[in-house]
Structure 1
Amino acid sequence: MADREAKTNAISGQPQKITVDFDPPKKPKINKYAFTCALLATMTSVLLGYDIGVMSGAMIYIKDDLKISDIQIEILAGIINLYSLIGSFAAGRTSDWIGRRYTILVAQAIFFAGAILMGFSTNYAFLMVGRFVAGIGVGYACMIAPVYTAEISPASTRGFLTSLFEVFVNFGILLGYVSNYVFSKLPTHLGWRVMLGVGAVPAVILAFVVLWMPESPRWLVMQGRLGDAKRVLDKTSDSVEEAQIRLADIKEAAGIPENLTDDVVQVTKHSHGEGVWKELIVHPTPSVRHILIACVGIHFFQQCSGIDSVVLYSPRIFEKAGITSANNKLLATVAVGFTKTMFILVATFLFDKIGRRPLILSSVAGMIFSLATLGFGLTVIDQSDHKITWAVGLSITMLLAFVAFFSIGMGPSPVVYSSEIFPLRLRAQGTSMGMATNRLTSGVISMTFISLYKGITIGGAFFLYAGVALVSWVFFYYVLPETRGRTLEDMEGLFGNFKWNFPKNRNNNKEVSNGNEPNGQVQLGSKKVKGFG
């Protein structure tokens, strides 16, 4: 029918708009090889999650054993996030020099050393040295894993595969909580050291599995290793045609002529990061400036919601809510970790189905409600001189609701979003800036929570977090375009105007015009097709 209409238009010579009906494309199955590579890479985030989770319980015993103050506990809990800034920034340059895969290996080695140092700490100063080393390893892992996963994943499943990073963060947190509960039976001076030292075990395991993984095809192209990149793309793409398109797009983004093939071994290399910081910060284009604002903003607001305060200080919050038994506090904390893990699994299956924006906006809306209600419940408890059962129940419910709403959208979104929006030449350093913002904000929040709730009450602290979440909702609505289904090389065109020119569904009933296109071309989505009609 479409061909007949096109011929009639050609005879009449009148430009007309016609509608071409396409059968809905079949949803591609998850590429098993790409899935395995992404799974292994994102498992490095277990290190960050385990450290956060295990410290929430270990700090109780560290305080008793080392006789330190609340201020020292705050610093101990949150300082690893500031130390990780060093790793985040260093990882961007390191990954451009030695590749994404070996940078993951570096992360495991550094964290292993940090875990061993913490496990054998004899005093507070020694423990802080271990936190410093482990923090650098965490910074490396947090930056490089999302970049590697985004670069190796096909566009159809990139959201799902990249969100696995947050799945393993939450799994690590849950492991840390369980470790707290299991090793709490040991003598005080031994229990917390075992809790922290056990973190070296997953680092060793992950270091070995990384050797099996291929290098990122985008990094290989930037090194001029086109043949190696093609082989990786053939394995990680949904079809041969997609592999060819991905390779052509990467070469174009890297400034490599399309006619260069895998037989050409001398290619100008642009991969060592020269001039990247100037292009990112000093003289950015409107698109790059918009991308940087979006990346830094989403990481900043994720941590300003107070999630690390909840994760790190759950035992204290439950104590304020009326749970006084140490055993029950640790069990309730395990419930927090379990809730986060379950809801992050739900989020992974929604990113590529309903998109990034709907998940982020609905997640933050739920967080605003749960944080405000939690603040109300804790204020009622704080102002009462006797136990109020309904307020206790409300507070515990809202605490779990907050981590559920956070995990279903706001939790995985910063990693997914920031790892896919930067142009290839800026991706490593741009992503490291986002992760550095994330860790810096997390460090400030986690190192001030005890002082904050002592100053404005614990209910007031959560009202403050609710207000920040409200501001973040407005920011996300106006700044973040939808990226679902776009190739990495196509992202830059979405940014730069702040007018929400989000891509529409181009699968069905696409309108094309054949009246004004030269040489019999028609406009099909964003592509021109020759010889139609």
Structure 2
Amino acid sequence: MTDRKHEDNGVSGISNDLIADFNPPKAPKRNKYAFACAILASMTSILLGYDIGVMSGAQKYIQRDFGCTDGQIEILVGILNLYSLVGSAAAGRTSDWIGRRYTIVFAGAIFFIGAILMGFATNYAFLMVGRFVAGVGVGYALMIAPVYTAEVSPASARGFLTSFPEVFINAGIMFGYVSNYAFSKLPLHLGWRFMLGIGAIPSIILAVGVLGMPESPRWLVMQGRLGDAKIVLDKTSDSLEESKLRLADIKKAAGIPEDCNDEFVQVTKHSHGEGIWKELLIHPTPTVRHILMAALGIHFFQQASGIDAVVLYSPRIFEKAGIVKDTPQLLATIAVGFVKTTFILVATFLLDKIGRRPLLLSSIAGMIVSLMSLGIALTIIDNSDHKITWAIALCIATILSYVAFFSIGMGPITWVYSSEIFPLRLRAQGCSMGVVVNRVTSGVISMTFLTLYEKITIGGAFFLFAAVAAVACMFFYTLYPETQGMNLEEVEQVFGTFFRWRSRQAELDRKKEAEMLVNSKSQS
């Protein structure tokens, strides 16, 4: 009986092993601690979103109150993007110096001061000073939120969590649109001041909330604080085994021996990132050059395809389409914000299931069709001497479809992709460069859109954006590897072959399969 029992157990054990081999492992549960950290860090992006949304409506009332020209309004609206370069340029060094967490607090404090200054502005020059201060805060926030989130996230949920900054940008835009509508009935000299000044409230909430976050484990390792980094990794990983692997990868990237298990070690530091810029710009390896092309390219095309023109000037676009009254314009603008926010939420759940490339390519293809259709509709309206209802409806529908396609791919993937492809030693400065390109391109588009559509017609402006999006589609298809599910330290291995990245990715996949087979045999 005993022998029979042991025999049955042996057969049962073999059967269970076979079943385990054929059944894929279950997806890990969502890490709630990493989720909370990503939420708090990404709240910094509300600051940019609110400013974009609120300026779309406030600009009309500022122009009426101060008697500004269209040129002054273009500068007022778009200059924050250029001012943010100051914050972005300083954020990489600041975050390496005082840590990711306190850099986020610093960003919120700067934006708070800027919002107060804008709310109390008595003339155009005073308002520009407030825009400068707020812009510096936005630059800090834009750089640090995706970097921190990528560094604290487990690989299984990195796409989901690092898309949060874009979610909160959209939430901020939505709040800005609602603020426009809520304060539009106030007296002219008060309405726009409330619209801008109330932006100080999110920055206070942000500064308090962020103090409860842990520091980035990668930054802790760079400081030699291995014990603290291990504690954070244990909390933010899907398992203790993954935590150990992540710590080993980070130690390797930071130049710390793998067998070093001290709580604190001395790490050789390059003062203020010395040598990093040389490695990025002067003597980049093929891998770094490919990563730079991908990161800077996606930031450029995100803005050059016209998203800020639509979001910042949607009331004017609706006016050109035939919606002339303030209240219907603002309500239509709120619809844009609602659609944009809804689809970004959809995208967050698809990033780690579908992958970066399929969403990015689908997104840009939909944007091309929407921009072409919008250009056609606006051209027909522009050349007609009477109201064409179907063309107005087509304008509204294509604007909504454009922001929907943007939000489901191009919007979140830009921040996810650029924050995960840089090696650890280059990540802060590399992401700073991406933000610089993003903000410069956005600034150029937002500061020239009114002039552009006066020169080549409003329909022609959107045909131009469609052409840029078509170039972007080819660029993404040929140069962008898939990074879904890879550890941050593994991602750079698929770069460096440029147009031949597919063969490199296939080689890595074969290597992984071989390693899994060897491990399976050794376990059995």
Indicate whether the TM-score tops 0.5.
yes
The AA in structure 1 aligned to 2:302 is Q
Q: Deviations over 1:384-425 (max 9, x none)?
A: 000011111111100111000100000111100000000000
Structure 1: how far apart are the matches of 2:162 and 2:271?
23
Q: CA offset at residue 491 of structure 1?
A: 1.2
The aligned runs of 1:394-405 (5 Å cut-off) are 394-405=394-405
Equivalent position of 1:463 in the other structure: 463
Q: Deviations over 1:342-392 (max 9, x none)?
A: 000000001000100000000000000000000000000000000011111
The answer to whether residue 90 in structure 2 is matched with residue 90 in structure 1 is: yes
Structure 2: how far apart are the matches of 1:357 and 1:213?
31
Equivalent position of 2:334 in the other structure: 334
Q: CA offset at residue 266 of structure 1?
A: 2.9
Equivalent position of 1:312 in the other structure: 312
SS in 2 for 1:427: helix
The aligned runs of 1:423-502 (5 Å cut-off) are 423-498=423-498, 499-501=500-502
Structure 2: how far apart are the matches of 1:332 and 1:97?
45
CA contact (8 A) 1:223 1:271 kept: no
The aligned runs of 1:51-450 (5 Å cut-off) are 51-270=51-270, 272-450=272-450
Alignment CA distance shift 1:41-1:511 (3 Å):
closer
Q: Deviations over 1:257-280 (max 9, x none)?
A: 012113443333358412100000
Structure 1: how far apart are the matches of 2:24 and 2:85?
45
The AA in structure 1 aligned to 2:421 is I
Structure 2: how far apart are the matches of 1:510 and 1:249?
17
The AA in structure 1 aligned to 2:67 is K
Q: CA offset at residue 530 of structure 1?
A: 8.2
SS in 2 for 1:500: helix
The AA in structure 2 aligned to 1:351 is L
CA contact (8 A) 1:224 1:269 kept: no
Moved more, 271-280 or 438-447: 271-280
Q: CA offset at residue 201 of structure 1?
A: 0.5
CA contact (8 A) 1:42 1:149 kept: yes
> Which blocks of at least 5 consecutive residues in structure 2 are unaligned?
1-19
The AA in structure 2 aligned to 1:122 is T
CA contact (8 A) 1:367 1:405 kept: yes
CA contact (8 A) 2:363 2:408 kept: yes
Which one of the candidate residues 502, 516, 520 is aligned to 1:524?
516
Equivalent position of 1:518 in the other structure: none
The AA in structure 2 aligned to 1:165 is P
The AA in structure 1 aligned to 2:301 is F
SS in 2 for 1:349: helix
Structure 2: how far apart are the matches of 1:190 and 1:531?
73
TM-score, normalised to structure 2, is 0.93
The AA in structure 1 aligned to 2:83 is Y
Equivalent position of 2:6 in the other structure: none
The AA in structure 2 aligned to 1:338 is F
The aligned runs of 1:498-509 (5 Å cut-off) are 498=498, 499-501=500-502, 503=505
Structure 1: how far apart are the matches of 2:262 and 2:28?
28
SS in 1 for 2:122: coil
CA contact (8 A) 2:375 2:461 kept: yes
Structure 2: how far apart are the matches of 1:321 and 1:483?
41
SS in 2 for 1:268: coil
The AA in structure 2 aligned to 1:50 is Y
SS in 2 for 1:136: helix
Structure 2: how far apart are the matches of 1:295 and 1:386?
46
The answer to whether residue 33 in structure 2 is matched with residue 41 in structure 1 is: no
Structure 1: how far apart are the matches of 2:308 and 2:271?
35
The AA in structure 2 aligned to 1:162 is T
Equivalent position of 1:12 in the other structure: none
The AA in structure 2 aligned to 1:25 is P
Q: CA offset at residue 508 of structure 1?
A: 12
TM-score, normalised to structure 1, is 0.92
Structure 2: how far apart are the matches of 1:271 and 1:21?
50
Structure 2: how far apart are the matches of 1:186 and 1:178?
14
Structure 1 segments of 4 or more deviating over 4 A?
502-511, 527-533
The number of residue pairs the alignment matches comes to 503
Q: CA offset at residue 500 of structure 1?
A: 2.7
Superposition RMSD in Å: 1.9
Alignment CA distance shift 1:468-1:152 (3 Å):
same
Q: CA offset at residue 528 of structure 1?
A: 7.0
SS in 1 for 2:353: helix
The AA in structure 2 aligned to 1:86 is V
Equivalent position of 2:4 in the other structure: none
CA contact (8 A) 2:276 2:426 kept: yes
The AA in structure 2 aligned to 1:218 is R
Task: Report % sequence identity.
Answer: 72
Equivalent position of 2:8 in the other structure: none
Structure 2: how far apart are the matches of 1:123 and 1:466?
38
Alignment CA distance shift 1:76-1:511 (3 Å):
closer
Structure 1: how far apart are the matches of 2:300 and 2:223?
33
Q: Which has the higher helix share?
A: 2
SS in 1 for 2:501: coil
SS in 1 for 2:41: helix
Alignment CA distance shift 1:511-1:223 (3 Å):
closer
Structure 2: how far apart are the matches of 1:236 and 1:369?
41
Q: CA offset at residue 22 of structure 1?
A: 4.7
SS in 2 for 1:27: coil
Alignment CA distance shift 1:507-1:297 (3 Å):
closer
Equivalent position of 1:9 in the other structure: none
CA contact (8 A) 1:21 1:509 kept: no
Structure 1: how far apart are the matches of 2:209 and 2:169?
18
Structure 1: how far apart are the matches of 2:47 and 2:521?
52
CA contact (8 A) 2:225 2:263 kept: no
Alignment CA distance shift 1:111-1:310 (3 Å):
same
Structure 1: how far apart are the matches of 2:429 and 2:513?
39
Structure 1: how far apart are the matches of 2:369 and 2:342?
20
CA contact (8 A) 1:376 1:459 kept: yes
Alignment CA distance shift 1:509-1:147 (3 Å):
closer
Q: CA offset at residue 239 of structure 1?
A: 0.4
CA contact (8 A) 2:110 2:136 kept: yes
SS in 1 for 2:138: helix
The AA in structure 2 aligned to 1:370 is S
CA contact (8 A) 1:222 1:270 kept: no
Structure 2: how far apart are the matches of 1:489 and 1:508?
18
